[in-house]
């Protein structure tokens, strides 16, 4: 299938159905876009919105973020998950101040060199904040690519070399109109994957690509075992225990170690798991201990 008809249909659909999100507004700063992209990793928009707004109210630029106490950074991050992202974002802010005079760099290469900024985030910020025609691929985009062009029900958990080649093959020509059309494709196809071409069930009756989709034309076959993957468990995992410990420290402040370990309302987590998770938080710099007291970093 030639990708050009797909490009035009998806971008036209986006113009009528795009969500009104603050980090998409014309007056959003590149720093606001960068904060949104870090927060949105593996986290739904509904949970990110209030945290993003609070973050930008407190720390509207890299300079203020770099100077903020780490305990406040983690408190505002709240329950977004993977709190190391919050500290990495603060480290990126410090690097922006040191290397780029407090201005978010505009190129993928410069962004990629910042602490904690991976391939996807660097491309996304270059595209969405600066209009650069970079190939942006998240889970939603991979799913649309898999169905529309490859005829697969799901893309699988891993971003494969074949999927990377497909993403580049179907990307609009960046030489046209200074890359504006190519940049528009990224956000449009991402939104289609988030709102219509969802994992299960997809809303095919609302899709502008229904009559072009290779998966639909093949009869919508179910995903293979490899495509399906395994849903990541939560209850009883170290991630759940670490999250509960962080929530207790945010809410209670400095707490005696034994009281912190005993006070978690997680009957399935034995003492060994609680100790292991607390030690991992201390090792990651997400908490600190002085004597018998444990707190968020910089509080004791």
In 3D space, the residue among 83, 20, 131 whose CA is nearest the CA of residue 250 turns out to be 83
Contact 164, 142 (CB under 8 A): no
**CA–CA gap between residue 89 and residue 107 (Å, rounded):** 18
3-state secondary structure of 286: coil
Cross-strand partners of 294: 255, 289
Per the structure block, which two tokens stand in for 70?
């780490």
- The set of residues, in sequence order, having a beta carbon less than 8 Å from that of 167 and lying 6+ positions away, is 135, 137, 141, 142, 145
Q: How many CA atoms lie within 13 A of 273 on its CB side?
A: 15
Is position 191 annotated as part of the catalytic site?
A: no
3-state secondary structure of 290: strand
Taking residue 265's Cβ as centre, other Cβ atoms within 10 Å add up to 7
Residues in the chain: 300
Radius of gyration of the chain (CA): 21
Cross-strand partners of 289: 294
Catalytic choice (37, 134, 191, 288): 37
Cross-strand partners of 295: 288
Angle between helices 119-130 and 180-195 (to 10 degrees): 120
Could you give the residue numbers annotated as active site?
A: 37
């Amino acid at each position: 299938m030639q990708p050009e008809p797909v490009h035009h249909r998806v971008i036209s659909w986006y113009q009528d159905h795009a969500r009104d999100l603050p980090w998409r507004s014309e007056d959003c700063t590149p720093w606001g876009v960068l904060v949104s992209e870090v927060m949105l990793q593996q986290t739904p928009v509904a949970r990110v919105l209030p945290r993003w707004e609070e973050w930008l109210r407190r720390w509207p630029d890299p300079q203020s973020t770099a100077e903020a106490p780490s305990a406040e950074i983690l408190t505002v991050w709240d329950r977004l998950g993977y709190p190391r992202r919050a500290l990495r974002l603060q480290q990126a802010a410090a690097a922006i101040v040191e290397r780029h005079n407090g201005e978010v760099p505009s190129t993928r290469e410069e962004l990629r060199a910042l602490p904690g900024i991976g391939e996807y985030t660097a491309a996304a910020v270059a595209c969405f904040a600066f209009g650069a025609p970079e190939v942006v691929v998240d889970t939603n985009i991979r799913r649309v690519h898999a169905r529309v062009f490859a005829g697969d029900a799901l893309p699988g958990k891993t971003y494969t070399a074949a999927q990377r080649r497909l993403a580049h093959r179907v990307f609009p020509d960046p030489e046209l109109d200074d890359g504006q059309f190519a940049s528009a494709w990224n956000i449009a196809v991402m939104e289609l994957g988030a709102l219509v071409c969802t994992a299960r069930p997809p809303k095919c009756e609302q899709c502008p690509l229904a009559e072009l989709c290779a998966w639909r034309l093949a009869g919508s076959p179910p995903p293979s075992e490899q495509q399906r993957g395994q849903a990541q468990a939560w209850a009883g995992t170290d991630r759940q225990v670490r999250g509960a410990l962080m929530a207790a420290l945010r809410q209670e402040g400095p707490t005696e170690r034994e009281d912190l370990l005993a006070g978690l309302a997680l009957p399935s987590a034995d003492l060994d798991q609680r100790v292991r998770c607390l030690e991992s938080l201390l090792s990651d710099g997400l908490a600190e201990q002085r004597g018998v007291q444990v707190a968020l970093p910089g509080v004791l």
